[in-house]
Amino acid sequence: MKEEKCVGYLVGESFCDRFQFVTTRELAPKRLEYVTIKGIATPEEEVEVLAQVESLRAFSEVLNEDQEYEATNKILGLNYAIPTHLIAEARVLGYLDKNNKIQFPRSVALPGSPVFLASDFLLQRFFGHVKNNSIEIGTLLYRPNVKVTLDPNGLRRHLAIIAQTGAGKSYLAGLLIEKLVKLGATILVFDPNSDYVLLRRTSNLKGFSSIAEMVTIYRIPEIPTRFSEVEIGGIEKFSIKFSELEDEQILEILGIDEKMTNIRNSIEHALQELKKEGRDFTPEDLYEKLSQFTGDINEEEKPIPFENYEIETAKRHQKRTKINEDLVNGARKALKYVRWIKDYPIWGFEDIKLEKILKPSHITVVDLAGLEKNLMDLIVSHLLNEIWMKAKSEGLRYPLFIVLEEAHNFVPNDRESRGKSAKLINTIASEGRKFKIFLIVITQRPYKISSNTLSQCGSQIIMKLTNPNDQNAVKEASEALSESLFRDLPGLNIGEAIIVGNLTRVPVIVKIGNRETAEGGYDIDLEKEFEKARRDALISDEPFIPTEEMESEI
């Protein structure tokens, strides 16, 4: 085994959970690097105690903060080396016992004890899981040879992926989805920005990925989006059976609140009549039924034959008198609410069959890009409700992971802006693990997401965050996030993440690994776009020729 490298010696006060050591400029480990000291597990057993460097400070007794500029300049002009001190502070993480479990030392190391740079071998034991179904997520920061693997059982308490825009959260989520589906996971992704629609393609978009056959992309037809069906590699059409929605769901879609009594009554009355007819119906049918109440179309528009005039007139009068004035007025106002959704291409006569979603080793991506917020909420609540009812009544054969991208839009902290899906998501966050349903909540605005949902996430993968409100929301939701790691959030680079909670033995900062599949949410290269714009402008622009009127003004 490679000989351990001594990087310093303990000085000053030491504690069970932290210590400081003196080092040199040449030997000093980087901040967040790992070091070890010798500890005692039992009187007969010595162990390697792992610690992480939290800070480095350098000072000189000659050049202290009380030194004036001129005096400092004269001292620096002298031809001798000025003595300096370099002190590192480290936080103790623990040691591995005989069962490979982390224990916290109850003894303290004495001043003068040597401090060693932690070996890759020891770090791999700390941050790797030897199980065959572990999830390889990346490598240790500063240690590219040490793979960080996650315990899949850590997902039993849900997961939150949190980062500001551009930090790489969608890339990370895609990598995690790749790994999970290869382990056999069933995954349902609600995708508001088409970030995950390219999972069937390789990262260079030149071929199909190894998981292509495990991925189904659902999209509402005729909705313009960034990626074509050819680029995606095939899609399935998504539709909702309007006639099977509850009355309250339809009223929510239409944006009709409880105060609009006449409008609500007219729509509920029309729905009752349509259901009595015993057939599937669409928003178009609802529109026609409401129009009948107002006398605007259908038989009111048809001329009455002369020979049946008295009989038909009496029939129509009798039918109209059955509909009271409030209902007629409500129906007339309701028409404008129904009009905007009746031609929407989402409505059909067949829902997604749950057995297509709940297959093992399969990813279902529902592309929500380009939809109104209330229709997004409808789709999410509709599918979640069906899944939840099945899970509670029959049980799910395989664990289901529900990925909520932009989760703060579906389960916001503001109660007044919540849709129907929010209640279901909060319920799943609280009770889902008992029914094999687990959440992967992704957001760049953690302070806007329901604290009930966020606090139920037993693990967090946190990338760069600079907004104080977001930082505080993360701090409140995560018990495992230390003050030191909390201070690191603004300084993380793109592709770096802090992982805390049940996924790892101890909190760890990782460099996220490479994924095989293409990312839909990549940033636009503005430099290349500007070059393209200038090139196109030179080709397409006609030369400027001033008119006679312009020349006369000049």
Q: Is 336 exposed, middle or buried (CB count within 10 Å of its CB: 0-12, 13-18, 19+)? A: exposed
Residue 551 binned pLDDT confidence (cut-offs 50, 70, 90): low
pLDDT score, position 547: 66
DSSP letters for 458-470: SEEEE-----HHH
Given CA atoms 87, 88, 90, 95 in this order, what sign does their dihedral have?
A: negative
Residue type, position 144, single letter? P
194 touches 227 (CB < 8 A): yes
Give the pLDDT confidence of 378-398 residue by residue, as tens digits: 889 889 999 999 999 999 999
**pLDDT tens-digit profile of 453-464?**
999 999 999 999
Closest CA to 14 of 118, 98, 92: 92
170-188 residue pLDDT tens: 999 999 999 999 999 999 9
**How far, in Å, CA of 476 to CA of 447, rounded?**
10
Q: What are the sequence ranges of the domains in the chain?
A: 6-118, 146-234+352-512, 243-347
Q: What pLDDT score does 544 carry?
A: 60
Determine the Cα–Cα distance for residues 96 and 92; give it in Å rounded to an integer.
13
Cα 128 from Cα 150, distance rounded (Å): 7
Q: Is the pLDDT at 322 greater than 60, yes or no?
A: no
Give the rounded percent of residues in the chain with a pLDDT score beyond 70: 91
Task: Tell me how crowded residue 110 is: count the other CB atoms within 10 A of its CB.
Answer: 10
Angle CA 155–382–519, to nearest 5: 55
Residue 310: pLDDT over 70: no
Count of residues in the chain:
554
Which pairs count as long-range contacts for 78-86, CB under 8 Å and 24+ apart, including other chains?
A: 84/58, 84/59, 84/60, 85/22, 85/58, 85/59, 85/60, 85/61, 86/22, 86/23, 86/24, 86/25, 86/28, 86/56, 86/57, 86/58
Q: Which CATH number fits domain 146-234+352-512: 3.40.50.300, 3.90.1750.10, 3.40.640.10, 2.40.10.10?
A: 3.40.50.300
Per-residue model confidence (pLDDT) at position 154: 93
Asked if residue 264 has pLDDT above 80, the reply is yes
- Residue 307 clears pLDDT 60, i.e. is over it: no
Note the pLDDT tens digit of each residue in 32-55: 999 999 998 777 788 999 999 999
Task: Determine how β-strand 496-501 pairs with β-strand 6-10.
Answer: unpaired
pLDDT band at 23 (very low <50, low <70, confident <90, very high): very high
Token pair 């776009």 is found at 529
Phi, psi (rounded to 5 degrees) for 518: -80, 150
pLDDT tens-digit map of 83-126: 889 999 999 999 999 888 899 998 899 999 999 999 999 999 99
Give the model's pLDDT for residue 35.
97
> What is the chain's percent helix, strand, coil content, to nearest 5?
40, 25, 40
Q: Considering the chain, what is the average pLDDT of its residues?
A: 87
Is the pLDDT at 299 greater than 60, yes or no? no
| pLDDT classification of 301: cutoffs 50, 70, 90 | very low
